[in-house]
A and B are shown apart, each in its own frame.
Chain A
Amino acid sequence: MQEFLQQVVSGIASGGIFASLALALVLIYNAMGLVNFAQGEMAMFATFVAYALIENGMSYWIALPLALVLAFAGGVLIQRVVIRPVERAPVLTLVIVTLGLATLINGLAGFVFGYIPRSFPSPFSVQTVSVLGALISFRDLGVIAVSALVLVLIYLLLQRTTLGLAMRAAAHNPDASRLLGVRVSWMLALGWGLASAVGALSGIMVAPILLLEPNMMQTIIIYAFAAAVLGGIESPLGAVVGGLIVGITVNLAGAYLVGGDLQLAVAFLIIVAVLVIKPNGLFGRPSVRRV
């Protein structure tokens, strides 16, 4: 039982990481009607930036927000420079563009930072604390706390501020929003910035666990896809719930059912199962349309 509880808590920690990246996918899906295949690579690159800042003597708690701000700016820049010119192009063009972007960022990271895996510092100790007899690591608790904080901040931004309202309006109904004076194109760029920042958070949270190298996010992005699809690809809340479910499921399956090697297969199983049984996910709307 205590062992089970331990697995659930680390599942929630992984879930927070998946949820952040899944939320990034959902934000961009809403802004562009398409999954951003470069999301994982953007997160990885931002993590390298955080690494460089820390290596140069900056404290973790300054480097983290700074890296998120830089990731935000990078996301806005990518939207303005790369995505906007092809905004109205057919879906296939956009798919190719984001795939190209992924390859480009991956190569750039290799070129600038090299391919040797580096250990990324964590501000949380790996020591454990006993809760109800279960040994829970401070690292898991720290990841859960930071993810929860950022997710709540994004929720408040989107649901409780005028800017967030304008962003949601622009993503769902650009033409009607323009008629209300909303600067749609900039709202979409802010959506990219926000997605980039929250994706970066997942990279920075996972790096101490996985070792940092250019391909670090390539498995995490699969879990994030699973989470986003499970939640209903258009729903931010769904991404978070989906992330937690995937995190816990994968962790428990790894511990009790299939072992670590097949955890990724479990994620694929979730994706396929959702697409077959409930294609709109847990929180998705009944009809799928391109926004």
Chain B
Amino acid sequence: MELLELEEVHAGYGPTQVLHGVSMKMAEGEIISLLGANGAGKTTTLRAICGGVRWDGAIKLSGRSLHRMSTEDIVRSGLAHVPEGRGILTDLTVEENLRLGEHLRRDRDQVRKDYVRVFEYFPVLRERRRLSASTLSGGEQQMLALARALLMRPRLMLLDEPSLGLAPLVVRAIFEIIRDINRADGVGVLLVEQNARLALELSTHSYVLEVGRVAVAGLSSELKGNDSVRRSYLGY
């Protein structure tokens, strides 16, 4: 069964239609990248999946329709969304942010192990754990968001531009960690990225959005090798 399936999804904000029939699917444990120019509707697609905007069509998580489900319930059924802007709770400490990531889990032993792993990936979070999350730098907040998503132990992670504003070296490291999380836990990752080159390397399949429609879809390796696709849609 597909992990995630979108069929003819239309969505928008009030009277403005942004998505004009987006269809895509991803298998269990796969990494998919969602590419496209600014304003193409990538963020809106992720918002539709987690119930953040009104939509028509069909969206299914592991075969189960997400229609009319609240964001809370969608998240509880195994989805983690690191949104544009990272969604850090800046009134709380780093530790409290992480705690909220795993607060619904019952497998406490595994949670403890996951904390160890999270702090191995991001030692800076351990050092800063008692500090207010608002004191973290942009890159550190991105790490916190990813760490928190990992602690949620989702089946599917939606990552909205995890490389935004990060130094190239840090981006590399973060992408390695995403790959690692995907391999170790079998988490499906839907990755929205401006950095198409890196995203194509990391993912198995890719979708390219153009003004709310899927313009190109296929194996990432093939898109990477296709010069005309690269030039017209991916800009490198």
Contact = CB atoms under 8 A, between A and B. Distances in A.
> Does chain A bind chain B?
yes
Given A168-B92, A169-B92, A182 B100 contact: yes
Interface in A149-186: 162, 165-166, 168-169, 172-173, 175-184
Interface stretch (B11-19, B81-89, B119-127, B212-220): B81-89
Contact of A175 (B87, B101, B152): B87
B107 interface: no
Given A178-B71, A181-B103, 15 more contacts: A162-B103, A165-B99, A169-B89, A169-B92, A172-B92, A173-B89, A173-B90, A176-B83, A176-B87, A177-B100, A178-B72, A180-B103, A180-B148, A181-B152, A182-B72
B96 interface: yes
Contacts of A166: 100, 103
B106 to A, nearest CB: 12
Q: How big is the A interface, by class?
A: 10 to 19
B76 interface: yes
A23 B50 CA distance: 35
18 contacts: A165-B92, A165-B96, A166-B100, A166-B103, A169-B89, A169-B100, A172-B92, A173-B89, A175-B87, A178-B71, A179-B50, A179-B81, A179-B83, A179-B87, A180-B103, A181-B103, A181-B104, A182-B100
Nearest to A186: B72
Contacts of A175: 87
Interface of B: 50, 70-72, 75-76, 80-81, 83, 87-92, 96, 99-101, 103-104, 148, 152
Contacts of B83: 176, 179
Given A162-B99, A166-B103, A184-B72, A177 B89 contact: yes
A180 B75 contact: yes
Contacts of B148: 180
Contact of A181 (B75, B92, B96, B99): B75
A168 B70 CA distance: 20
Contact of B152 (A165, A168, A180): A180
A181 B72 CA distance: 4
A183 B72 contact: yes
Contacts of B152: 180-181
B103 A179 contact: no
Contacts of B71: 178-179
A184 B89 CA distance: 14
B10 to A, nearest CB: 23
Contacts of A184: 72
A183 B76 CA distance: 10
B89 A179 contact: no
B136 to A, nearest CB: 14
Contact of A178 (B75, B91, B101): B75
Contacts of B89: 169, 172-173, 176-177
A165 B75 contact: no
A182 B101 CA distance: 10
Which of B71, B80, B90 has the largest count of A CB atoms less than 10 A from its CB? B71
Nearest to B101: A180
A166 B104 CA distance: 11
A168 B91 CA distance: 9
Interface string A2-14: 0000000000000
A180 B101 CA distance: 6
Which of B83, B90, B92 has the largest count of A CB atoms less than 10 A from its CB? B92
A173 B91 contact: yes
A175 B81 CA distance: 12
A184 B51 CA distance: 14
B104 to A, nearest CB: 5
A182 B91 CA distance: 16
B75 A179 contact: yes
Contacts of B104: 181
Contacts of A165: 92, 96, 99-100, 103
Which of A173, A176, A179, A184 has the largest count of B CB atoms less than 10 A from its CB? A179
Nearest to A180: B100
A175 to B, nearest CB: 7
Contacts of B103: 162, 165-166, 180-181
A50 to B, nearest CB: 35
A182 to B, nearest CB: 7
